[in-house]
Structures are given as structure tokens and as C-alpha cells.
Amino acid sequence: MNLEAIKSEIEANVPGCRLEMVDNPSPSGQHSLLLDAQHAAAVAVYLRDAADLRFDFCSNVTGIDWPGKELSQKVKVRKLVDGVEQEVDEVRTTTIPGSLEVVYHLYSVEKKHGPITLRLRTQDRDTGVHLPSLTPIWRSAELQEREIFDLFGVVFDGHPDLRRLLMWDDFQDHPMRRDYVDPDDYEYEPTAHDAVLQRANQHRSEEEGR
């Protein structure tokens, strides 16, 4: 089950697709293929139907949130300071945009091999969160993609029934994102510390001020 070989086979048979190998440094050795959103469905159909691959069992669909990062670098720049040109340290911040990632684990029931891991990434975390749905190809993605829509906010185009799965329909946030803030509902802790202690102090002053 050589991922390099599979990658070249897909590139040969699905014209125009752009694949990338994502290396997995852990001892599990499960490397993955990053697909581009435009050709993801075609690659998926090929993986499912090719005679030597026959990945007909989509086992797991996962969402991962990679929030954006700000990198600050100190750069030496020549600037005019008090009329004299000098080398001055300037801090330059570059923002790496975050993205939401969807990971598919595929197995083959016919050939009894696997797993092969596919990844899809959105452009960013605000408006560019559309990805093609692979539910028409593997029915098992139906409920799992709904869950990723509910908890992460990825919109799957082509999904037959995209609604929230686990939270109620009026709920507004996407709770599994890393920047989700829990609602404040008076959590009681007998030996409170850190954040819970701060909130308890706040509640106490509110109750006493009432």
C-alpha cells in the first residue's frame, strides 16, 4: 500500500488534479494526500472504482480547526533617524490564515486493504468555508459531514441534507472551533481556582450588588 504509487496512479488517471503528500512523522506511518477542492470528487470516484484500489468503505470523516497564526519577525531596516541613516530593528508581523480541514479515512472491503487518508482544506475560516461533499460517493459521509458542518462550520456543497446534527437548530456558534467561548452558566466548583474562581468572584459581586 504505497501512497506514492497511488498518488502517481491518481495523477495519471484524473487529469488536472493537484495532489500533495502530507507526511506523518509519528510511528503510525499513516501519511495522507491533500486534495484540491475542485477535483476532490473526481479523485474520490477514481479511488472508489479503480480495479486495483476499490476503496469502497469510507470509515471516518473528521474536522480539524487550524486557527490563523501571527508570526512576528525582527528585521533590520535602514531608516532615517534624526536625519542620519541607520540600521534599525523593525518588527514585521505576517499573518498565516487559518483553515478548516476535513480528513477522510478510506478502507477497502473488497480488497481488505487500507487505510488511505485524504485531506481537504478550506481557504479560510470566515467566508471561504465551502468544500465539495463526498456523500454522493460514499454514503457514510452523510451524517459525519453534517456533524462537521454543525461543530466546525464547513459548508459541504452537494450534500443532500445539510443541517445541524448535534446542536439545536437555533444555535449560532460552531463549538469545536478553537476560539469558541463557553456560555457563562454558573459552574459550581467546591475548590475553585483559575478561571472558575474569577467567574465565581464576578457572580458573587453581581449577587451582592443586587
Per-residue binding string, other proteins, 82-111, x by CB under 8 A, is ---------------------x-x---x--
Q: How many Cα atoms are found within 13 Å in the side-chain-facing hemisphere of 169?
A: 2
* Lookup: cell for 179: 476560539
Q: Which is nearer to other proteins, 20 or 90 (CB)?
A: 20
- Cβ 74 vs Cβ 19: under 8 Å: no
| Minimum CB–partner distance for residue 68 and other proteins (Å) | 16
- Cβ 92 vs Cβ 72: under 8 Å: yes
Distances (CA, A) of 102 to 27, 95, 129: 22, 22, 11
Q: Which is nearer to other proteins, 123 or 140 (CB)?
A: 140
Interacting span for other proteins (CB under 8 A) from 12-20, 71-79, 85-93, 199-207: 199-207
Q: Which is nearer to other proteins, 86 or 202 (CB)?
A: 202
Interacting span for other proteins (CB under 8 A) from 8-16, 78-86, 120-128, 192-200: 192-200
For residue 170, what are the contacts with CB-CB under 8 A and spacing of at least 6? none
Which runs of E-coded beta strand occur in the chain? Answer: 20-22, 32-35, 57-66, 69-81, 84-96, 99-107, 116-121, 130-132, 155-157
Q: Does 180 bind other proteins (CB under 8 A)?
A: yes
**Which residues of this chain interact with other proteins, rule CB under 8 A?**
24-28, 30, 41, 44-45, 56-60, 62, 64, 103, 105, 109, 112, 115, 117, 136-144, 158, 160-161, 164-173, 175-176, 180, 182-183, 185-194, 197, 200-201, 203-204, 207
